[in-house]
Structure 1
Amino acid sequence: MTALAGLLRTRRSGGRITDAAPSDAELGDLLALAMNAPDHAALRPWRLVLLRGAARDRLGAALAAAQGATGPERDRAAAKPRRAPLLVGIVLRARPHPKVPEWEQLAAATAVVTHLGLLLHEAGWSSIWRTGPLLDAPPVRAAMDVAAGERLLGWLYVGRPDPGAPRGDRPPADPRPHLTVLAAETAETAETTEAAEAAGPVPGW
């Protein structure tokens, strides 16, 4: 088994995280590697926002306000960002491009976060990508300084994995239901090919 295969087999979304997190410098080093993910035209159509300490409380207050909760429900909503010592906000900043549609820029942002999660795992950290129905709520966008035209994709909760959490190998999934092979030619495409050949070359090609 290669080192990468071992990482893929053992990576888990860290539902239980202890109160320790990588420094800004360490995270920056990992992000520099994660940025080798596929990114058509090298647009870098994303930015990451780090939340530590009281900054998490600012987000918690925004989540509670957006939810409109009161009493214990409000307290629970406000405490959610305290589930990890470091939150990495993921913001899509797609831009117009003649060859790179927005969906492809979203895929590039997702690829960076996926790479970062694997690199964090390799470095001994744990992470989980959390979203929810309040990403577009005005209080949450304001707390995260999300500008018009940007899109909040959630937060990577980062910390040291709980020693009691399961970390064993995950058996490989069966890829067959998700894998097909395109035939080189069918009877229908053969007729189309023959007709095109009989018509001759397309002008300008």
Structure 2
Amino acid sequence: MSALQAVMRRHSYPQVTADAPTHEQLHPFVEAAATIADHGSLKPWRLIELRGDDRVKLGKAFAKEGGSADKPLRASLLIAVVAIHRSKSKPEWEQEVVASGVAYMMSLLLDEAGWGVFWRTGDLTRNKRVAKVHKLAKNEKLMGWLYVGGKPAKSKSQSRPKITVSQHLSTP
């Protein structure tokens, strides 16, 4: 399958099965995601695996902030995507874009390997209690979580409507 075909068939799986890749199975995906364009080669990102009780702790933090304690339990594996502001000479937003690129690359790679993935974001990514669960440093920002699991046998295909390319691609 070509990269174009893989990207065109990818979609989010808001519900996944309890299956999840092992820590070791994630290694090649992380290595591949590290090839993302990175102005200055800062690698301004890191990923945090949340499994088992770590998801329960995250759920408790969600609940204390008005969210749902069950959300982090919707997948056996959550991968927190963290942007790290490593350099004052490079804009912080550029470093966040790299971390976001890693998240999307991971979602593509995992999907192509047969895993269901859903990228969750929201207000809780900027919450102090949630940051504490992830043990974030002062120069780090949580960009969201990749919920990873098996693709359900029956899944509502979330086919995307075709875009009008001219609305999104122009010349000067």
Instruction: Give TM-score, length-normalised by structure 1.
Output: 0.78
**2:57 is aligned with 1:46:** no
**2:83 is aligned with 1:84:** no
Q: 1:125 to 1:149 in 2, by over 3 A?
A: same
In the alignment, is the contact (CA less than 8 A) between 2:100 and 2:143 conserved in 1?
no
In the alignment, is the contact (CA less than 8 A) between 2:99 and 2:143 conserved in 1?
no
Q: For 2:23 and 2:126, how far apart are their aligned partners in 1? A: 27
CA drift of 1:117 comes to 0.8
Residues 117-128 of structure 1: matches in 2 within 5 Å? 117-128=107-118
Where 2:125 maps in the other structure, the secondary structure is: coil
- Which of structures 1 and 2 has the bigger CA Rg? 1
Point out where structure 1 has 5 or more consecutive residues left out of the alignment.
Answer: 70-76, 183-205
CA drift of 1:102 comes to 1.2
Corresponding residue of 2:106: 116
Instruction: Give TM-score, length-normalised by structure 2.
Output: 0.93
Q: Percent identity?
A: 37
Corresponding residue of 2:146: 156
Q: For 1:40 and 1:92, how far apart are their aligned partners in 2? A: 14
Q: 1:164 to 1:146 in 2, by over 3 A?
A: same
Where 1:155 maps in the other structure, the secondary structure is: strand
Structure 1 runs of 4+ with >4 Å offset: 167-172
Q: For 1:129 and 1:164, how far apart are their aligned partners in 2? A: 20
**2:4 is aligned with 1:8:** no
Corresponding residue of 1:23: 22
CA drift of 1:169 comes to 6.6
Corresponding residue of 1:94: 85
Corresponding residue of 2:129: 139
CA drift of 1:104 comes to 1.1
Corresponding residue of 1:201: none
Corresponding residue of 2:93: 103
Q: Per residue, is there more helix in 1 or in 2?
A: 1
What amino acid maps onto 1:40 in structure 2?
H
What amino acid maps onto 1:136 in structure 2?
R
What amino acid maps onto 1:84 in structure 2?
A
CA drift of 1:167 comes to 4.5
In the alignment, is the contact (CA less than 8 A) between 1:9 and 1:172 conserved in 2?
no
In the alignment, is the contact (CA less than 8 A) between 1:9 and 1:171 conserved in 2?
no
What amino acid maps onto 1:79 in structure 2?
D
What amino acid maps onto 1:110 in structure 2?
S
In the alignment, is the contact (CA less than 8 A) between 1:34 and 1:115 conserved in 2?
yes
- CA RMSD after TM alignment: 1.7
Stretch of structure 1 that moved more, 138-147 or 82-91 = 138-147
Where 2:126 maps in the other structure, the secondary structure is: coil
Where 1:42 maps in the other structure, the secondary structure is: coil
CA drift of 1:179 comes to 1.4
Q: How many residues align?
A: 172
